[in-house]
Structure formats: structure tokens, C-alpha cells
Structure 1
Amino acid sequence: MFVMSIWGTSLSLSSRSLAIALVLCVTLLYISYSFNACLLASISRSLQQSNLRNLLSLTSTPRNESSSNSSSSNDSATPASNPSNNSSNTTNRSISSVPAAVGIANSSDGSPKYQLLRQPGLRPSRHLPDTLIIGVKKSGTRALLEFIRLHPDVRAAGSEVHFFDRHYQRGLRWYRHHMPYTIEGQITMEKTPSYFVTKEVPQRVYHMNTATKLLIVVRDPVTRAISDYTQAASKKADMKRFEQLAFVNGSYSVVDTTWGPVKIGVYSRYLERWLLYFPLSQLLFISGERLIMDPAYEIGRVQDFLGLKRVVTEKHFYFNATKGFPCLFKSEARSTPHCLGKTKGRNHPHIDPSAIERLREFYRPFNNKFYQLTGINFAWA
């Protein structure tokens, strides 16, 4: 009987110990599970925050843009045949399409902003321009800019910067700051028509980069002069008649070559300055007349000249009979059909046919010289 009592007590203690051990095991498992779950959640949050910081750093303005020499005092002439004077802004960048992973939006100044970059190494930055539209005023430079910037590999400053003619003393760093953000493989472009006629500009552009490509839109100089006058007259109600300004003493016998609209049309004089620094192979001449009548053809030539794939084609244009000017089905800034500004396609005032004929006679030798320099006959009357 005593033995049975001891045995029962032993069984009772053993059951209790087993229960306690089981409770302890369950408690330990629960604590271990909770700890691991918290640890995993913490690691996951850290990874998400790290990815977010990386993404934000990609889309922010680069802090350390490469600086360049802003000095503008070196004005010694250097012939175009010397290729050794290379700029600090290297332009030998391969041309490739913008990856689909890049999201782009337009800012208030017309330059693109990169909202999302999923591929490493595609951080946007500002560069000095590879290509300049240097003129000629009232020949179609704005149309050329708007048409070529339809290409995804072209990014252009939204407005005329006038660096080489008005702000050169500010230096190249200031100039770069006015350029749009680009990624590797894209071309940076700027347009200021007065560059073509400003004496100091060819040398200054050469000092920036000897490999700069130059786009020059030209137009019948008589028609260009009338267009130039029309724009000026639209801003000044009491402006004299065209014939009074284009000729000396009101007589058609002597052309006033000091008057801006007439002076600019002597293209050969300005081109000779550019050819002192740049070979003809770095200049492309675009017909302003053909840019209006067949924009796809001229833009195709521009794309070839810049080493770009022909992306901008006839499907991007339609002709507006009212304005007498090509318009766009869509552009970099707008996805709906639209034309250029109201200042494009203005109706010219009536000009005395005798005055027009006298101006054509005046320009004829200069036009022939221009044809010889370019190797292109633009067939201006």
C-alpha cells in the first residue's frame, strides 16, 4: 500500500513537470517567433527606405557638376584647320534613343525634368551645347528648333540665351546652367539667331568646343528683310515705310546697307568669318523656304547631320492653309495638334515692286558668293 502511494505521487509530479516543460517550450517558441517577425519587419522597412532615398537622389539636381574654365579673355585667332584645341566639354557621346524606363516632364523653362530613372548610370546633368542654331534671324530658326526637338535624343534651351553675344563675360559655367538636363547619348542644343552676324561669336564658340555643329537657316534675303521689318513694325505703330528705311534719301538708286534688315541679308560676309574657325563639314545650311513647304525633308537632313536616327518624319506635320505655315500634330510640350506662335506667318505689307527689284539686284552678287562658299544654289531670284 505504501509502495502504491509513492508510485502515485511520482506519477503526479512527473505529469506536472511535463506540463511545465511543455508550457515553457511553447512560451520560448512564441518569443522566438515574435522576435524573428519583428526583425524581418525592421529589415524590410530599412530596405524600402533605402530604395526610396536612392530614387529621390536620382531625380534630384546633381550636386557636383563638373566645372569648366569661365575665362573669356583669350581672344587670339586660331584657324579651323587646327583640331588640337579641344574644349573641356567633350561632345563625343554616342547617340541612342531615350530608354523606356525614363519618365520625362517639362518644366517652366521648357527643359525636361526626369521624374523616374530605373536604370543605373542614367543620371541627368547639364552640358555645354553640342549643336547651335546660329541664325539667320527671320528665316525659320524657331520653327527649326521646335521641329527638331521632337526627337527624343535632342534637348534644347527653351529660350535664346545670348551667351556668346551679350553675356560672354559671365563664363561657361553660367552658360551651362542655362542648358537643359540631359542623359548620356542626348544632344544639347541652343538657338540664338544673332550669333551668325556678331563678329566675336565664331572665335568664342571655337574656344568653347572646336567640334560644335552649327545649323544655319537661310532665306531669300529680300523676303527676310521684309519679314524683319514686319516684326519691328508690329511693335511700333509710327514706324516709317519699308521703302523709306531700305534706301538712302528715298531714292531706290542707293540701298542703305547700314539698316539692320538689309545688312543681315549679306550672308556671305558673315559666313566668311565662321569659315575661319570651322570647316564647312560642321555647318549645315537649311533652306527657310523648303522648311515651310517640306519640313520633313529638311528635318531629315538635320537628323542625318547630327547622327540621329530619323524619328521626326512627315507624320509629325500638317500644313495650315490659313497661316501658310506647317504645324505640328504634337510636340515636346503638347500632345495635341497646334501651330507655332501668332508671330509666325504674319502677312507682309505691300512693298513697291520697283523697290523689291532694286534690292534683288543689290543682293545678287552677294548671293552668288554665298552659293560658292556653301556649294548650294538656293535659287533666290
Structure 2
Amino acid sequence: MRLRKLVPSPLQPAARVTYNALGAVTSPIRLMPDFLVIGGQRCGTTTMFKALSEHPQVMRPGVEKGIDYFTFNYGHSEGWYRGHFPISSLARLRTARHGQPIAFEACTYYMFHPFAIERIAKDLPDVMLVVMLRNPVERAYSAYKHELARGFETEPSFERALELEDERLEAEYERMAADVSYESFAHRHHTYRRRGQYVEQLDRVYSHFDRAQVHVLDSEGFFAEPKQEYGRLIEFLGLSRFEPEAIERHNARPGSPMPESASRFLADHYAPYDEELADLLGRAPGWMR
């Protein structure tokens, strides 16, 4: 059972502090992650996370799907991070019939954060990384609707939010570089256009990790053939064969269609980035075919 299901909402912040403290104390006997889902945001990673969590060998964090340790929680100790994962002996008992336990977390901010990948490479050099990409035009509008619905975006016009992006990010990178615990609200919540410049982010990933450690898939292909893509993913992770009963889409954000002017602007903006991405991957991503 997850903490949010066991504890009433008003008590969850205090319960989370207690949980983290206990986890840190017992961290030496806990698992460390074998793989990370690092992005991208609004690309189907919640669905992937839930499908992976169903695998009998896979151990997810105890509270949230993503811990954000390598972004704005990097000021905490490694013990604090490790404390979020299951106790090793209990995990081995649970997975005994299927193989060794494999721990993971899914944080879509890791791929986009300017310093997270370097930190992951330093602390978890052998970790495997999973990346899910989506048509960047659709992703940008989905992210905007998501932030608007959550109250993190107050600009009622998507076009205006795109115009404001650079202004909102002014000096944020310098603040993030100066303070490992600094959580940039604008960088985390208002980067609709930049997050879709995938080639820049994957360049950073490949500069720190061998390509054999990185599995990149498209959300278009994943949702068109979920069982086949899931099978390829668990093979990459070295997991035993397993097929979930159903892979259902989660966190979809319905709403009004994207303004045509914004769609044209973003399509033109992303065209050169997508061409570079295809060269980097050695294949055209699903939305270009």
C-alpha cells in the first residue's frame, strides 16, 4: 500500500517527513535503483511507470513515482535518497520466484534539468536509463494544460505563455548552478517549448552514458503497440518475461484544441531539432514518419 492511500491528506506532509527520516536511518539495508525513467514530461511516462510496477521483479519507491533527488533534492544525503526504496531482504523475498529485485524511480525532470544527468552519472554510473518521447508540438500544449489545471500556470493564453518563456527563465540557470537545492518554479513548470528540444537533452545523456545503457522509445509506438514495446523494454532491462493484463493510458489531459497559430509556430520551431534528433537516434521518431 502507498503512503497516500494509508494516511489522510492533511497528515501526509508530516507522515512523509517521518517516512523519509526512517528511510534514511535504514538506508544501508535498502536497494538502490537499477534503472531510472528520466523523461520526458507529458510523454506517457505515468502509464509506463504503472506498467513497469506490475512486473513481479520491479520495486518502485514507497511514496511517489519520482524522488527528484538529482534535481532540487541533491542537497540531501545519499542515505536520504536510498531510504525511499524497499528494504533489500524484503524485496528479495517478494521476488524470489521470479528473479532478483530491480528497483527504479520515474522522474521526468531528470532529462531536462541542466545538472541532473551529470549527477546521476557521478552517483549511479552503471544505472540504465529509459526515455519516452512524444510529438513535441502536442507535448507542449499538453504540458500547458496540465500546469494550468494544477494552478501552476496563470496565463490564460497558450500563445502568450510561449512568448513569456524566455523572460520567465531569465537568470534561472545561474541560480540553479549556484544552489543545488534551488527549485526553479519557472524552469520546472513553464518550459513548454524548451522541453521539446529533445536532441539537446539526449546529447547531454549520451555525453555521460554509454548508448547501451539508454533505451529510447516513442509514445506513439508505445500506445499503438503497448505489449510489443513493453516486451522490448523489459528485455533491455534484463527482466523476466511478463505481460501485464492491460496497459491503460493514465494522466491524459482533455480540453480545447491547440490554437492553429501556436501549432504552426511550434511545428516550424521544432523542425530543425527533430531532424537533428533523427540523426542522433539513427532513425526518425514516430511523429516524423
Q: Do residues 246 (structure 1) and 246 (structure 2) align?
A: no
Change (3 A) 1:263 1:215: same
Task: Give the superposition deviation at 1:107.
Answer: 4.9
Give the stretch that moved more between structures: 125-134 or 347-356: 347-356
Identify the residue that residue 265 of structure 2 maps to in structure 1: 358
- 1:96-125 CA-partner distances (Å, limit 9, x unpaired): xxxxxxxxxx35368xxxxxxxxxxxxxx5
- AA aligned opposite 1:310: R
Aligned to 2:240, the other structure's residue is in SS state coil
- AA aligned opposite 2:122: H
- Distance in 2, matches of 1:367 and 1:347, equals 26
- 1:145-178 CA-partner distances (Å, limit 9, x unpaired): 1001111011111412110111112121111101
Identify the residue that residue 197 of structure 1 maps to in structure 2: 112
Q: Is the 8 A contact 1:257 1:263 kept in 2?
A: no
- AA aligned opposite 1:242: F
- Which of 16, 19, 39 is matched with 1:135 structurally? 39
Unaligned runs of 5+ in 1: 1-105, 111-124, 250-254, 318-325, 328-338
Question: Residues 322-337 of structure 1 correspond to what in structure 2 (within 5 A)?
Answer: 326-327=247-248
- Which has more helix, going by share of residues? 2
- Distance in 1, matches of 2:102 and 2:150, equals 35
Identify the residue that residue 227 of structure 2 maps to in structure 1: 296
Identify the residue that residue 306 of structure 1 maps to in structure 2: 237
- 1:228-283 CA-partner distances (Å, limit 9, x unpaired): 0011111338532112222379xxxxx98955011111011111111111011111
Aligned to 2:56, the other structure's residue is in SS state coil
Identify the residue that residue 67 of structure 1 maps to in structure 2: none
Q: Do residues 369 (structure 1) and 276 (structure 2) align?
A: yes
Change (3 A) 1:269 1:238: closer
Q: Is the 8 A contact 1:287 1:298 kept in 2?
A: no
Task: Give the superposition deviation at 1:349.
Answer: 2.1
Identify the residue that residue 103 of structure 2 maps to in structure 1: 188
Q: Please, what TM-score do these two structures have when normalized by structure 1?
A: 0.57
Question: Residues 3-152 of structure 1 correspond to what in structure 2 (within 5 A)?
Answer: 106-108=1-3, 125-152=29-56
Aligned to 1:132, the other structure's residue is in SS state strand
Identify the residue that residue 16 of structure 2 maps to in structure 1: none
- AA aligned opposite 2:225: D
Q: Is the 8 A contact 1:280 1:374 kept in 2?
A: no
Q: Is the 8 A contact 2:155 2:161 kept in 1?
A: no
> Over aligned residues, Cα RMSD in angstroms?
2.5
- Distance in 2, matches of 1:257 and 1:364, equals 24
Task: Give the superposition deviation at 1:225.
Answer: 0.3
- 1:12-49 CA-partner distances (Å, limit 9, x unpaired): xxxxxxxxxxxxxxxxxxxxxxxxxxxxxxxxxxxxxx
Q: Is the 8 A contact 1:214 1:284 kept in 2?
A: yes
- Distance in 1, matches of 2:76 and 2:282, equals 37
Identify the residue that residue 162 of structure 1 maps to in structure 2: 68
Identify the residue that residue 18 of structure 2 maps to in structure 1: none
Give the structure with higher Rg (CA).
Answer: 1
Q: Is the 8 A contact 1:132 1:212 kept in 2?
A: yes
Question: Identity over the aligned pairs, expressed in percent?
Answer: 24
- 1:343-376 CA-partner distances (Å, limit 9, x unpaired): x222132222232122111101111111111223
- Distance in 2, matches of 1:138 and 1:161, equals 17
- Which has more strand, going by share of residues? 1
Q: Which portions of structure 1, spanning 4 or more consecutive aligned residues, are displaced by more than 6 angstroms?
A: none
Task: Give the superposition deviation at 1:303.
Answer: 0.5
Relative contact order: is structure 1 or structure 2 higher (C-alpha 8 Å, sep ≥ 6)?
A: 2
- AA aligned opposite 2:159: E
- Distance in 2, matches of 1:361 and 1:370, equals 15
Aligned to 2:193, the other structure's residue is in SS state helix
- Distance in 1, matches of 2:109 and 2:60, equals 17
Identify the residue that residue 131 of structure 2 maps to in structure 1: 216
Aligned to 1:239, the other structure's residue is in SS state coil
- Distance in 2, matches of 1:256 and 1:221, equals 21
